[in-house]
Amino acid sequence: MDFDFSILRQEIKTAAMQAFAEMNERCSEEQVIAFALYSDEGAMTVCPAVNTDIHLDRMVTGNAEDALYFKYEPAEWKFEGQGAEEAFGSICSQLRSFVLMNGRSSSHEDGNFEAFREELYETCIGVLEELVCSGFFARYAGRDIIVLFAVSDYEYEPEWYMRMIQRLNADDAVRKECEVYVKEWGD
């Protein structure tokens, strides 16, 4: 079960940069406040998500008790799966083909699929970390933004989630809010 994650890493990085640039330009009347890559438990997708200040304010209005959920849950963000659609479509096709050909066989049962999935998740986080460290998001947005990796309909281990947050967000306020978010929504 061989998959070239070094090539995938570059493809995801290029697609993420393209998606963020497209969405940042598209949101010229709003401030982009967050970017995420997300996948699924079946390791067949990688997609972008973007949130804006105005969208977050709208979601929180009348739902203040759920503010952290709306802020840190990419499924609730303004743009999900938009930006660099062709590039991300190609990535998803590769993943889906590989998993369907290799991941559902006997290797799925002996742990190879789980190793593949974990490598995919780490590749996404690594790409985001590289983009954060290079200042990519801050240059486009004009300030630091929230950066996340998420998995649809997946229960994270709180420690894993907080390590990911710390890798991708230097802002202590974000880290503290995420800790509260994990405690509130992780139960």
**pLDDT tens per residue across span 33-74:** 999 999 999 999 999 999 999 999 999 999 999 999 999 999
pTM of the model: 0.93
Determine the longest span between alpha carbons in the chain, in angstroms: 51
Angle between helix axes 158-168 and 172-185 (nearest 10 degrees) is 160
Q: Taking residues 19-42, report their average pLDDT.
A: 94
Cα angle, residue 162 at apex, residues 159 and 165 outer, rounded to 5°: 155
Average pLDDT across the chain, whole number: 91
Task: Give the pLDDT mean for 72-83.
Answer: 94
Question: For tokens 């969405």, what's the residue?
Answer: 23
As a whole-number percent, the residues of the chain with pLDDT over 90 amount to: 80
User: Is pLDDT at 187 greater than 60 in this prediction?
Assistant: no
Higher pLDDT, 138 or 103: 138
User: pLDDT tens digits for 4-15?
Assistant: 999 999 999 999
Question: Residue 70 has what pLDDT?
Answer: 96
pLDDT of res. 153: 75
Q: What is the pLDDT of residue 36?
A: 98
Rounded mean pLDDT, 132-151: 95
pLDDT at 133: 97
Q: Is the per-residue pLDDT at 27 higher than 80?
A: yes
**Cα–Cα nearest to 168, from 49, 37, 43:** 37
Between strands 32-39 and 146-151, the pairing is parallel
CA distance readout (Å), 111 to 1, 114, 132, 148, 174:
11, 5, 32, 26, 34
